[in-house]
Structure 1
């Protein structure tokens, strides 16, 4: 798997990440969602450089211009609910994309043990398309893997791109074992550790709760 860690570069992306992490800023839910959306736009822009393009003639009021246009069919798949702002950021740039939505949540079995449950899926065919699978938090990597397994019934993508805001080294290693070798991961930053509950440290907390409010636990 090819890992593209954009946080290793000096760019405005790092400001968005700092505000997501900062407890004095992240309590503003609107700003939290907008920062994830902006990160989705940055990830989408960088991802777009890896796609195939066609050179086409575009008629202007004064003549004809040659333009390189992406030639591939893109499907953006968000993992509900935390993935919605990231999905919107990607959709802002891939505005002609088809869309897939899937649920995946942690069901606590014990204080430190949990399983990932997938209960909802709405998707077009994925056959021979560019699949962008978006989830802001890549902690253990089990959500990405379970969702990928659920999507297999929808067809075989031409390429798979994973988009995430913050990941752990352990989670990246886990998905590398379960996704095709040519899968590309686009991620804004990577942290080293998970705590005993499987949350990223230092991370930023629960992205879904910070974006949309605290939920009742299953």
Structure 2
């Protein structure tokens, strides 16, 4: 069920986002080697999302791993030899990568803004036959194990989303914004309890 995105958290995030910088000329250059970019880490940077990109960097040392976020967040980023940090505005530019990783991003944004973000994601990745993909970790309403504990957790999270005036999406709603952004296919894997991993292909 879609809910309107109101003031508060969304507007604060949007205001910060619009102050971010973009690369000179907005030119997108293909990555020189295997590369994954974690888009829009939310502060504090030591939340589990950063542990995930660090885990990827550790498991695949040949892969370049980057976190892209707002300038004031990147300024506070910890020194990390395996993960680099770059400031930017995901509405204007996302660093080129073979794969993009977005966790708990889209419940903060309505359909119009989500499509804008996804279009920038599509610009940043190579074609599907070259390995390009966007990996989204988020809730897909109605997906996941049909167990009472899972459904109870979904209800509690639903109440939380209502409090922050966010959005939850069923698969049909996810598909709508994916197709509007120009993607050709997607795959949903319910492997994280109430959270799903969505692989999105250009």
TM-score normalized by the length of structure 1: 0.34
- Give TM-score, length-normalised by structure 2: 0.36
Larger proportion of helix: 2
The structure that has the greater radius of gyration is 1
